[in-house]
Amino acid sequence: MAQYLVKRILMLFPLLIGITLITFTVIHLAPGEPVEMQVAMSPKVSAQSRARLREFYGLDKPLHVQYGLWLSHLARFDFGRSFAPDNRPVTDKIVERIPITLSLNVIALILEFGLAIPIGILAAVHRDTLLDRGISVFVFLGFAVPTFWLALLCMYFFGVKLSWLPISGIHSLGSERLPALARFWDMARHLFLPVAIATFGSLAGLSRYMRSTMLEVLSQDYITTARAKGVKERAVIYKHALKNALLPVITLLGFSLPGLIGGSVIFETIFAIPGMGQLFYQGVMARDYPLVMGILVIGACLTLVGNLLADLCYAFADPRIRHGRG
Amino acid sequence: MRFSLPVALCLLALQLAGCTRGAPEQKVLRVKGGPPACGDSLVTGSIGEPSNLIPLLSSDSASSDIAGMVYNGLVRYDKNLKLEGDLARSWEVSADGLSITFKLRPGVKWHDGAEFTSRDVLYTYRVTVDPKTPTAYSEDFKQVQRAEALDPYTFRVSYAKPFAPALASWGMPILPAHLLEGKDITKSPLSRNPVGTGPFVFKQWIPGQKVVLDANPGYYEGKPYLARYIYRIIPDSSTMYMELKAGGIDMMGLSPVQYQRQTDTREFLERFNKFRYPASAYSYLGYNLRLPLFQDRRVRQAITCAINKEEIVQGVLLGMGQIAHGPYKPGTWAYKAKVDDPGYDPARAAALLKEASFVMGGDGILVKDGKPFSFTIMTNQGNDQRLKCAQIIQRRLKRVGIDVKIRVMEWASFLTNFIDKGRFEVVLLGWTISQDPDLYDVWHSSKTGPKELNFVGFKNPEMDRLIVEGRGTFDMEKRRSCYYAIQEILAREQPYTFLYVPDALPAVSARFQGIEPAPAGIMHNLIKWHVPKAAQQY
């Protein structure tokens, strides 16, 4: 087991370097440079000022040198400074945006798993009934409706027409002066729509997955045995079947780890939530190489770690895998 | 004075700089009040987040909006778009036009209490031209031969030859020397925490959410009545519009559809005042003059004749704009109202094309030397008005026998792969109109190189001479006659088909009083805006 773990961890490094090399190439292949994005079509910028800006950002050096420099900084956990005019350290820009994205995604993830799993079980147990079909229609509706459209409709209905909920942002103006509890309530009101809509949109995948694994388990012999020996239906489903049906979900949980820091651009833009999605999008549009690379590296690390964790958890939860390997 | 980013060009609706056309529509204010009361906040929305609040280092419109509240220049454009003293009480141009002496306003204080003197001006000049400063604004100041602070309240700058745009260039925000001198400006905390001399003091910036400015009690023109100016960052324009309707923001620039169709309800008009005045921008169809097809002046004239500009203004802007003949804003001093340009006249278009030896082919498309008359109009993605405009033009040109294709491109690849390499036939784009009428960068023949702005490749010796003459004198009458002649050349040559000047269409909450619409728009007297005590919200 320990040897397996060490091997897996060592494998991460070449993978990571490969990922950075590919992303570095791809982002440099995109037309336009950070300097261009800032000064293009601006009459007051001469060739010298352009050259000066390029030199300032180190864009005058050959690509492999730029990559080498970037990698050597990364090895010291330095993501460099942003190529945006603010020239701030990339780490600062990411750090100030992570909390909101992370909390939103964690809440949405908990809701998603908390709702999708029972829904999936319900659908599996009542297979092919009206309830099952109703659930299918409901979750696929959430899956099929463009979330930005639904978001705009909800904002108009709950925000403008009924004035029940705030429209965008995460705090009301002047909420700084409120007591802690009221502040929390204010924020909860702001986050209600984004979280609710995001969850609604993501129910389909997980609940259908849950439904099918549950059905598979329910058709197995040991379930028939349990039923035959007179175990109550509740116990059959929740004790015997559910445990095994939940196993593959662990993998899904592992996969959703990188998603936790990646926000949705459309969502964050519509709801004016200052999260990672917006930051990344702006970074790409401005060809802010260090920022884009920084976010991608973090995302890649989390993906790799998430996969590793999922595998480990799986081995931990399923004796067949654990013993089969060792 | 400053050209904003192309991105900002696309967001024209947000532009609040404007000009005359009769009296802007102003509804009677619903809340009656006595003498101006202090207090309340003005909340506005911005699509983009400011990048750097040291204006020298940023070029986006959000940063320059905020900088405009926090800093002052030596001079500024008043509400009628005439230059007036700001931090400079007065100025004098020497008889030979080679030097300008500014008399600075004494007793002006930086927001941290230090006194503003000529040292600050000298520092701002030096850091702007310092090769180590990554700024996009050094160009105007490279013409400076010598800058000197004669005493704390006198600043003189000398040029090698008379340079008329120089005066307006000193409208650039003056930076505090006592906080920046001897330090690396790119790493200065001032970029997120600016200290200026302006009517509002920087208070707080929550990234991605808002920038808060407080009234400056010691402002040299008097403390603003409004206690606070809050700049909310709302990246989506439909969200912003809903925020406006729900009362989450007090002011935003409307689109023509919103202005004409969606805000015409009694409920909206009771809560908001709508304003309308020409924006400082125009849209145009630009021809690649390096291509033989467009080198023939008659072809360009014919295309202009075939396009009904009035129809475009009605169809694309719902009438919220006016047709353009040249690169200036109607009503400004350099604008020539009557020029001899080809108006809408399809018959004349046909005649001109015939003269240029095009003959009608069997499929209704003109043919010359066996080749059909066909070209592609390129425009950038994300600007619906331009796309609609291109479609209207496409239909009109079809009628005279020209086959037009439309190609919409992402901005970055549009610039790098097509504009910079000269690989285009016709583009549909827009320019911001600067307040100084100098046209050197966009129209002089020396600016036709790669990445330069005369990308259509217009070369006309007469035009070059007039441009240089116009920027080489401070005499307004002489300058005007140069620019009038230039507009006639452009009308005759049609290197662009100038299409339209859109209107800026801001809506402001009705609780704000004292708004005075003027050629410069509505923001020029922000410090005089006030809200009656009974109507105050924040």
- ipTM summary value: 0.80
Residue position matching structure tokens 């003269």: B355
Q: Rounded to an integer, what distance in angstroms lies between the CA atom of residue B525 and that of residue B513?
A: 11
Question: Cβ of A169 and B232 within 8 Å?
Answer: yes
A271 touches B: beta carbon within 8 Å: yes
A contacts of B417 (beta carbons < 8 Å): 31
The alpha-carbon gap from B1 to the nearest alpha carbon of chain A, in Å, equals: 10
| Rounded (5°) CA angle B196-B197-B203 | 50
Contact status, residue B407 vs residue B396, Cβ threshold 8 Å: no
If one counts every other C-beta atom within 10 angstroms of the C-beta of residue A316, the result is: 12
B contacts of A42 (beta carbons < 8 Å): 3, 5-6, 59, 136
A49 touches B: beta carbon within 8 Å: yes
pLDDT of res. A315: 76
**What residue of B is the nearest CA neighbor of A95?**
B207
A186 touches B: beta carbon within 8 Å: no
Q: What is the pTM of this model?
A: 0.83
**What residue of B is the nearest CA neighbor of A164?**
B246
Kindly report the average pLDDT of chain A as a whole number: 85
Contact status, residue A59 vs residue A33, Cβ threshold 8 Å: yes
Q: Which of B64, B54, B73 is nearest to B3 (CA)?
A: B64
Q: Rounded to an integer, what distance in angstroms lies between the CA atom of residue A249 and that of residue A54?
A: 48
pLDDT of res. B4: 36
Tell me how far apart the terminal alpha carbons of chain A are, to the nearest angstrom: 7
A146 touches B: beta carbon within 8 Å: no
Q: Over pLDDT 70: what percentage of chain A? A: 95
Amino acid identity at A3: Q
If one counts every other C-beta atom within 10 angstroms of the C-beta of residue B107, the result is: 9
Count of pairs with CB atoms under 8 A, one residue in A, one in B:
157
Instruction: Tell me the residue length of chain B.
Output: 538
**What residue of A is the nearest CA neighbor of B231?**
A173
pLDDT of res. B30: 52
Backbone torsion region of residue A182, taken as left when φ is above 0, otherwise alpha when ψ lies between -120 and 50, otherwise beta: alpha
Contact status, residue B456 vs residue B294, Cβ threshold 8 Å: no
Q: Rounded to an integer, what distance in angstroms lies between the CA atom of residue B499 and that of residue B387?
A: 13
**CA dist B70 to A313, B64, B66, B103, Å?**
55, 10, 6, 21
Least confident interval from A231-235, A313-317, B150-154, B208-212: A313-317
pLDDT digits (tens, 9 = 90+) for A47-78: 777 777 788 888 888 888 888 888 888 888 88
A contacts of B139 (beta carbons < 8 Å): 44-46, 49
Instruction: Mark the ranges of chain B whose per-residue pLDDT is less than 50.
Output: 1-29
pLDDT of res. A312: 80
**A residues 59-88 lying closer than 8 A (beta carbon) to B:** 84-88
pLDDT of res. B528: 93
Task: Check residues B522 and A285 and name the one with the higher pLDDT.
Answer: B522
B contacts of A93 (beta carbons < 8 Å): 207
Question: Cβ of B412 and A287 within 8 Å?
Answer: yes
Beta strands B210-215 and B366-368 are: unpaired
**What residue of B is the nearest CA neighbor of A55?**
B134
Q: Rounded to an integer, what distance in angstroms lies between the CA atom of residue B527 and that of residue B525?
A: 5
B139 touches A: beta carbon within 8 Å: yes
B contacts of A156 (beta carbons < 8 Å): 242
pLDDT of res. B15: 33
- pLDDT grade, residue A1 (50/70/90)? low
Q: Which of B171, B145, B111, B79 is nearest to B527 (CA)?
A: B79
Contact status, residue A290 vs residue A80, Cβ threshold 8 Å: yes
pLDDT of res. A74: 84
Q: Rounded to an integer, what distance in angstroms lies between the CA atom of residue A281 and that of residue B400?
A: 44
Residues sharing a CB contact under 8 Å with residue A164, sequence separation 6 or more, in sequence order: A158
pLDDT of res. B273: 94
Question: Cβ of A86 and B51 within 8 Å?
Answer: yes
B contacts of A85 (beta carbons < 8 Å): 51-52, 57-60, 63
A contacts of B232 (beta carbons < 8 Å): 169, 173, 272
B contacts of A57 (beta carbons < 8 Å): 134
A159 touches B: beta carbon within 8 Å: yes
Residue A131 has pLDDT above 50, yes or no: yes
**What residue of B is the nearest CA neighbor of A31?**
B413
Q: Which of B278, B294, B451 is nearest to B373 (CA)?
A: B294
A31 touches B: beta carbon within 8 Å: yes
* Eight-state DSSP code of residue B533: G
Q: Rounded to an integer, what distance in angstroms lies between the CA atom of residue A134 and that of residue B277?
A: 55
Question: Cβ of A173 and B59 within 8 Å?
Answer: no
A161 touches B: beta carbon within 8 Å: no
Tell me how far apart the terminal alpha carbons of chain B are, to the nearest angstrom: 34
